[in-house]
Amino acid sequence: MYALLILAPFLGSFILNLPFRKVNKRLSFGVCAALFLLQMAVILIPDFGLNKINPAALANIFNFDLGVDALSKVMLFCTGLVAFVTLCTSSFFLKDGDDKFNFANVLLIAVSGMNGIVLAQDIFSLYVFLEITAVASFILIAFNREELGLEGAFKYILLSSIATVLMIAGIALFFLVSGSTHFAVIHSALLAQDKSLLINLAIALFVSALFIKGGLMPFHGWLPDAYSSAPAASSVFLAGIVTKAAGVYVLIRMLVSLVGFSLTLKSVLLFVGAFSAIIGAIAALTQTDFKRMLSYSSISQIGYIMLGVGTGTVLGLAGAALHIFNHAVFKSLLFMNSAAVEKALGTRDTSKMGGLGSQMPVTGLTSVLGSLSCAGIPPLAGFWSKLIIIIALWSAGFKTYAVIAILGSVLTLAYFLSLQRSVFFGKLNAEFRNIKEAGFSLLFPMILLGVITLGVGIFLPLVLDKFILSFNAVLGG
Amino acid sequence: MVSAIFVVLLLVIGIYCILATYNLIRVLIGVEILIKAVTLLIIAAGRQNGNMALAQAMVVSIIVIEVVIMTIAVGVVIGIHRYNNSLDSRKIRKLKG
């Protein structure tokens, strides 16, 4: 039945492009929204009608080996949620009917690709889905065909192609030693043989490809450019979910079901994670461009996720998954806030802003929620995921990294407070006296995500143990 | 073994091609050469472990994906050319920081 999550968006974009363009254009928003909401419902409600479809009935049309565990469920839910808010954002920013239609189509293809990444159990199909997602995101970055967007897209294409080359080389070497591309077969082949030079090379190639895709610190060159130059709706989507699905999730999946956690890999992940968390936060402190600052903050938060993954324990993995969810929520929210501010003021330079909280109350309030959640202030959702990651680091014996993680959190608070002070608090600049709050189709997703941040923060402790225990199955223990 | 030498040779040519030029189209050609090198690696791996059918299937898929990526990339380059009237990568450094 999970195969439907890949098939349905793909078929949706196919059907929308059949004849009767005029009807389809009007339908496109509704079709996309319905698909994304269904995806969330399938994950949240176990008794949902679609969950009762017999997998054997689908095997005739779509015979694919798919696997679902707690981690993939978190990712599928995030994908649905972020895609839904992106759709709302796009309908606010894109005025032209053709643009809206095209955006919805590309979004459907990207969502189909990401659901594929999350569900694939075969290293080569994983690669194919990765490329589907990547191609869709190239188009999303260059969507407005503006100069900066094209430049950001070209940088992303170039680095993504290099990641592709590394990844195919890794796949070829895994294929050479195991004779197959299925996760389980490769895993047992790797267990049977000693860790030869060839296998280590394959792992190194694959991991560095994923570092590029995830935008971790030594390989982050494309990320701030691509995020800050992309149109508003695209950067919500990219920052919210694409880098996490294409980089972080694939890395976790590869570690868990393909190669296992070795000591060297753990130390590499922890080092890269800590490096990204700290340097990303310091780089964010120095930015005056709203979106660029958020991009560096993304790098820093992905560093946190890596720190959680690098522990190799159930607790660390659960913390990483929770932080993926929280980051998807608050970073989409903050990018929407930046888009609303940019639309109202016509600039992204934070040094020119000030006092916007009185003019744009909803944007101001939700962005305070998002920033505080990102900085890990209780009782917001971000607090719990950071707490779990730090506890996991401490209990796994990586005490230095736990201290670094706390320091990074302080830096996060520092740059978000300075951002809030210069944008939403303080004295209102006289030339911005007449600005208005954004329209309903942007305010609705903002309020939705703000409520989720607050609600998850307050109610998560009730189900926290259940959530963490469900990750036992992910590690196969 | 012979194919391994060719893979390395193609990789070196591709990397040199990317590093030595400022022309956007030539950079893309360099990327193409790199992808060709790893495609050859898959064929070599398939021949080595006797699973040629799977290797062929993978290679065909990679070629299709590569064409799609290059189509988008060339489209982006055309867009850049419209703004700059040039394909020089030194002229598209507006994004910094």
Per-residue three-class SS string for A89-122? HHHHHCCCHHHHHHHHHHHHHHHHHHHHHHHECE
pLDDT average, residue stretch A133-150: 90
Bigger pLDDT: A434 or A294? A294
Q: Are A154 and B77 in contact (CB under 8 A)?
A: yes
Contacts of A95 (CB under 8 A, 6+ apart): none
Q: What's the whole-number average pLDDT of chain A?
A: 87
Whether the CB of A439 is below 8 Å from some CB of chain B: the reply is no
What's the CA gap between A198 and A176, in Å, rounded? 9
pLDDT digits (tens, 9 = 90+) for A375-428: 888 888 889 999 999 999 999 888 999 999 999 999 999 988 888 888 888 777
pLDDT of residue A191: 84
Q: Identify whether residues A347 and A373 lie together within a single domain.
A: yes
Interface of A with B in 201-230 (CB under 8 A): 224-225, 228-229
Name which of A447, A364, A456, A375 is nearest A85 in CA terms: A447
Task: Pick the range with the lowest mean pLDDT from A186-190, A248-252, B88-92.
Answer: B88-92
Domain membership flag for residue A178: no
Bigger pLDDT: A113 or A379? A113
CB–CB contact A138 B72 (8 Å): yes
Query: CA A440, A152, A332 angle in degrees (round to 5)?
Result: 30
- In percent, the amount of chain A with pLDDT more than 90 equals 37
pLDDT of residue A477: 47
Helical (H) or strand (E) element with A48:
none
Q: Are A235 and A275 in contact (CB under 8 A)?
A: no
pLDDT of residue A129: 93
Q: Identify whether residues A409 and A449 lie together within a single domain.
A: yes
pLDDT of residue B43: 92
pLDDT band for position A49 (cuts 50, 70, 90): low
pLDDT of residue A215: 87
pLDDT at B97 over 70: no
What's the CA gap between A131 and A116, in Å, rounded? 11
pLDDT band for position A107 (cuts 50, 70, 90): very high
Q: Identify whether residues A477 and A329 lie together within a single domain.
A: yes
pLDDT at B63 over 80: yes
Q: Is B21 exposed, middle or buried (0-12, 13-18, 19+ CB in 10 A)?
A: middle
* CA distances to A166, A176, A177, A243, A282 from A196, in Å: 19, 13, 10, 31, 39
The token pair that represents A264 in the structure block: 């060297």
pLDDT digits (tens, 9 = 90+) for A195-204: 688 888 999 9
Q: Identify whether residues A244 and A338 lie together within a single domain.
A: no
Q: How far is A149 from chain B (nearest CA, A)?
A: 9
Q: Identify whether residues A251 and A294 lie together within a single domain.
A: no
Half-sphere CA count of A66, side-chain side, radius 13 A: 23
pLDDT average, residue stretch B71-91: 88
Domain membership flag for residue A328: yes
Interface of B with A in 17-46 (CB under 8 A): 24, 27, 31, 34-35, 37-39, 41-42, 44-46
Q: Whole domain around residue A300: which residue ranges? A: 261-477
| Owner of token pair 């329209």 | A439
pLDDT of residue A173: 92
Q: Identify whether residues A317 and A381 lie together within a single domain.
A: yes
The token pair that represents A363 in the structure block: 């944007």
CB–CB contact A180 B51 (8 Å): yes
pLDDT digits (tens, 9 = 90+) for A429-448: 777 777 777 788 888 999 99
- In percent, the amount of chain A with pLDDT more than 70 equals 95
What's the CA gap between A442 and A87, in Å, rounded? 10
CB–CB contact B80 A151 (8 Å): yes
pLDDT of residue B61: 93
For A135, the closest of B68, B79, B80 (CB atoms) is: B68
Interface of A with B in 362-391 (CB under 8 A): none
pLDDT average, residue stretch A2-27: 82
pLDDT band for position A69 (cuts 50, 70, 90): confident
Q: Are A373 and A381 in contact (CB under 8 A)?
A: yes
How far is residue A368 CA from its own chain's centroid?
A: 21
CB–CB contact B35 A142 (8 Å): no
pLDDT of residue A439: 80
Name which of A381, A385, A378, A364 is nearest A454 in CA terms: A381
Domain membership flag for residue A12: yes
pLDDT at A464 over 90: no
Task: Pick the range with the lowest mean pLDDT from A54-58, A211-215, A241-245.
Answer: A54-58
Fold for the domain defined by B2-88? Helix Hairpins (1.10.287)
pLDDT at B6 over 50: yes
For A229, the closest of B42, B62, B95 (CB atoms) is: B95
| Neighbouring-strand partners of residue A349 | A289
What's the CA gap between B40 and A40, in Å, rounded? 41
Domains: count for chain A: 2
Domain membership flag for residue A196: no
What would you report as the CA-atom Rg of chain A, rounded to the nearest whole angstrom?
Answer: 21
What's the CA gap between A21 and A16, in Å, rounded? 8
Please give the full DSSP string across A175-190, using - where no structure is assigned: HHHHS--BHHHHHHHH
Q: How far is A78 from chain B (nearest CA, A)?
A: 26
Domain membership flag for residue A190: no
pLDDT average, residue stretch B20-45: 92
pLDDT at A136 over 80: yes
Task: Pick the range with the lowest mean pLDDT from A60-74, A250-264, A289-303, B13-27.
Answer: A60-74
Last residue of a domain, one of A257, A282, A302: A257
Task: Pick the range with the lowest mean pLDDT from A25-29, A101-105, B56-60.
Answer: A25-29
Domain membership flag for residue A51: yes
pLDDT of residue A145: 86
pLDDT of residue A63: 61
Provide the strand spans (E) within A383-458.
none
pLDDT band for position A58 (cuts 50, 70, 90): low
pLDDT of residue A181: 87
Q: Is B71 exposed, middle or buried (0-12, 13-18, 19+ CB in 10 A)?
A: exposed
Helical (H) or strand (E) element with A257:
none
Last residue of a domain, one of A257, A282, A316: A257
- The one-letter code for the residue type at A468 is I
pLDDT of residue A438: 76
pLDDT band for position B25 (cuts 50, 70, 90): very high
Domain membership flag for residue A443: yes
Domain membership flag for residue A172: no
pLDDT digits (tens, 9 = 90+) for A326-346: 999 999 999 999 998 888 888
Q: Identify whether residues A65 and A155 lie together within a single domain.
A: yes
Q: Identify whether residues A251 and A123 lie together within a single domain.
A: yes
pLDDT at A18 over 90: no
Q: Identify whether residues A353 and A273 lie together within a single domain.
A: yes
Q: Identify whether residues A104 and A151 lie together within a single domain.
A: yes
